[in-house]
Chain A
Amino acid sequence: MRYGILLAAGEDIDFMVHGLFKYKFFGQDVWITTTHVCILIVIAIILAFAIAANHAMKNAKEVPSGFQNVVELIVEMLDKMVKTTMGKHASKFRNYIGTVFIFILISNLSGLLGLRPPTADYGVTLPLGLVTFTLIHFNTFKHNSLKSIWIDKCSPLPPWLPIWFPINLIGDIAVPISLSLRLFANVLSGVVMMALVYGLLGKLALIWPAFLHVYLDIFSGAIQTYVFCMLTMTYLTNAIGDTE
């Protein structure tokens, strides 16, 4: 199965993104790749969970039981995480942080189903980084005056000597690139490891790769999700500053 979407399906080592279906878009060849299929599966899982959660919370009881407990636990955990990092700005950003957290977590964990995780494609993580980048700069201009932004951008030197300005600018542009590359490279390294194990050992890789999945998919994926959200929140808090 050369073009299967399952990572463990091939006979040889195979961790690339494969094109499944080609179409023309303004004269360009555009491919529907395995990443699209995997991301649709992830979206289907999240949608099913969201519908179930909505149903559970419509019939919410005073004393929670069963599935309502799980939903409340997840929401409380995400709220607490945002609250401890962002303090008084938490209420504006917990929707975004919660959404990104759940999406990246389910994407990373989809390696457990044998899929190629969608976050192992730079085309998925770069937009996530760019959304954070847009949010950072929107909030910088919303909460700070132009003069204080200029002083901040020339920061180690006095504001009438903008030698440091281009270096700070490069530092700002590096933020989304480093955020997205960190997530991408971590998940990709897990994918490469699993592809090597499944591809080289073949029939020998029977039950014990489960332990590798525990480290590479669950542990590493959860840590990287947490790091992505944590850094996003830290950058946002810095961008807003101390203003009321």
Chain B
Amino acid sequence: MEFNENFIKGCQAIGAGLAVIAGIGPGIGQGIAAGHAASAVGRNPGAKSDITSTMLLGQAVAETTGLYGLVTALILMFVL
């Protein structure tokens, strides 16, 4: 069966859109981390700088899965 070029382009766009759904996970995860950091600052305002740096480190690591989705989408759109 032959597929023409436009069909493949369309499928690539659909696949890229589906891949970017991966952004939901890091959004929820970072929100949970930020919420817990906020409650931690409320409990112990003296440790604010430590809490902030730990939160940013954890969030940056949690972001990775979403970025895998982004890379997949970019590869689908521009490389394949």
A→B interface (CB under 8 Å): 16, 178, 181-182, 184-186, 188-189, 192, 223-224, 226-227, 230-231
Contact = CB atoms under 8 A, between A and B. Distances in A.
A16 B61 CA distance: 26
A182 B57 CA distance: 13
Interface of B: 56-57, 60-61, 63-64, 67-68, 70-71, 74, 78
Contacts, number: 36
B72 to A, nearest CB: 10
Contact of A189 (B60, B67, B78): B67
B67 A182 contact: yes
Chain A interface mostly? helix
A227 B57 contact: yes
Contacts of A227: 57, 60-61
A181 B61 contact: no
B61 A186 contact: no
Given A223-B56, A230-B57, A181 B74 contact: no
A185 B68 contact: yes
Contact of A181 (B56, B57, B71): B71
B24 to A, nearest CB: 16
